[in-house]
Amino acid sequence: MNTGAMHDVWVQLTATPLFGLTLTILSYSIAQAIQRACRGAALTNPILISIVVIGGVLDLTGIPYKTYFASAQLIHFLLGPATVALAVPLVRNLADLKRDLPGIAVALTAGSVVSAIAGIALVEICGGSRVAALSMAPKAVTTPIAIEVTQTVGGIPSLAAVLAIASGVLVAISIQSLLRRAKITDWRAFGLAAGTVGSGIGAAHAISLHERAGAFAALAIGLNGLLTALLVPILVHFWPYFKI
Amino acid sequence: MLKAFAALLVCQLAGEALHRTFSLWVPGPVIGMLILGLVLSRKPSAVPEPFVSAARVLLQYLGLFFVPAGVGVIANLNLIGREWIPMLVALVGSTFLSLLVTAYVMHRMCSPSRVAVVALTPPDGKEVELS
């Protein structure tokens, strides 16, 4: 077989779901093996490793991200039913969630306000543009909400999506050592913080460690989505008035 | 378990329909989570076993499902471009700060007597430390 024919086969295969599924599942299972071998070291987060490995493969082979994403659509689709399934740990821990509702409300509001204000303020203090600051504001929430809120306030939606996912990965790799240093060993606080700041990726990390943490994270995703969508446009509206 | 999967999809579909009909900012799957939560919360102590199994299977791989969208971060790194220093500082700074604030307030406001119990006994009985 000549190289031209082989190239044709390759191009045909990369356009099928077989390519995206194989690359994604293979990378993720290798990433999980690395995580186990490193005894769960924070930087060996399987989402982070898979993203880097697949990004590298696409770069080396010259396959565009669009082609890969279309081919891995089946895996991406499962995010929907999995998000709905978060209702199960939520309901199973309903008694705890109800008892801690005042704490949840105050902690979530505090975290959400700090995330938006610190995001905008730090970009401006370091000399970044206003568009960059506005795209940074809603990054703690689930990606679709971050995109919509960014559109409303005048940031760049695709940049907001990048920042939302990057912030989720950052939460997954940093939350354990941060909270340990702050001497916070409560799974409820762990889960709520992971869901409020890291959204879905934070929740995925929380639920891989503890079901109760997953329940608090699931609730935080929903509530912070609502809160940020109301809060960020108001904050951005009044921001010029208290600019330093 | 197939019925439970079907129920998850029905909830997502209903959520998506509400999202589009009323142009809600909350995404369809999150509305679907609320719908399923409302249905199941009529009997919180007895979530049907098929739902527990289906949720366990899906949530075990929740991280995997984020990978295709996550690779987009690498593909779109050029968006960050010239402003990468302020962006990186703001991303790391605000993420760490709001993680600490959320967890600290929650930790302070929740009954401390139960903290130790909650901290080290995951459902499978294995001891997991926050390390």
- Which pLDDT tens digit goes with each residue over B17-66? 999 999 887 889 989 999 999 999 998 888 999 999 999 999 999 999 99
B59 in contact with chain A, both atoms CB, cutoff 8 A: yes
Residues A119, B106: C-beta atoms closer than 8 Å: no
pLDDT of residue A19: 94
Q: Supply the ipTM of this predicted assembly.
A: 0.89
Among A153-157, A163-167, B111-115, which range has the highest average pLDDT?
A: A163-167
End of a domain among B13, B33, B65? B65
Q: Are residues B89 and B130 in the same domain?
A: yes
Domain count, chain B: 2
Question: Among B121, B130, B103, B95, which Cα is nearest to A189's?
Answer: B103
Q: What does the mean pLDDT of chain B come to? A: 83
Tell me: do B87 and B36 sit in the same domain.
Answer: no
Per-residue model confidence (pLDDT) at position B112 = 58
Quick one: pLDDT band at residue A148, thresholds 50, 70, 90?
confident
Q: How far apart are the C-alpha atoms of A205 and A190, rounded to whole Å?
A: 10
Counted across chains A and B, CB pairs separated by less than 8 A come out at: 357
The predicted structure's pLDDT at residue A171: 96
Average pLDDT, integer, range B84-104: 95
For chain A, domain boundaries: 3-77, 85-242
Q: What is the mean pLDDT of residues A97-106?
A: 92
- Angle at alpha carbon of residue A158, lines to A152 and A162, rounded to 5°: 115
Mean of the per-residue pLDDT values of chain A: 90
Give the pLDDT mean for A6-34.
92
Instruction: Measure in Å the smallest separation between the Cα of B21 and chain A Cα atoms.
Output: 16
Residues B61, B85: one domain? no
First to last CA, chain A: 68
Same-domain status, B86 and B61: no
The DSSP secondary-structure symbol of B111 reads -
Question: What spatial distance separates the first Cα and last Cα of chain B, rounded to whole Å?
Answer: 35
Query: Distance between CA A209 and CA B120 in Å, rounded?
Result: 11
Q: In chain B, where does DSSP find H-type helix?
A: 2-21, 28-40, 49-60, 62-65, 67-75, 84-109, 115-120
CA–CA separation, B62 vs B30, rounded Å?
A: 14
pLDDT at B123: 41
Chain A residues inside the 8 Å CB shell of B87? 123, 128, 132, 136, 163
CA distance B60 to B125: 18
Q: Which chain B residues have a beta carbon less than 8 Å from that of A86?
A: 33, 55, 59
Q: Which of B27, B44, B75 lies at the smallest CB-CB distance from A91?
A: B44
* Same domain as B61, residue B5: yes
Confidence band of B116 (pLDDT split at 50, 70, 90): very low
Measured CA to CA, the distance from residue A112 to residue A34 in angstroms comes to 33
Could you say which of A100, A136, A203 has the minimum Cβ distance to residue B87?
Answer: A136
Token output for B98: 């709001």
Per-residue pLDDT at B93 exceeds 80: yes
How much is the pLDDT for B128? Answer: 44
How many Cα atoms within 13 Å fall on the side-chain side of residue A9?
Answer: 6
In a domain, B18, yes or no: yes
Q: Per-residue pLDDT tens for A110-146?
A: 999 999 999 999 999 999 888 888 889 888 888 888 8
Residue B124: domain span: 81-131
Q: CA-CA distance, B117 to A4, in Å (whole number)?
A: 65
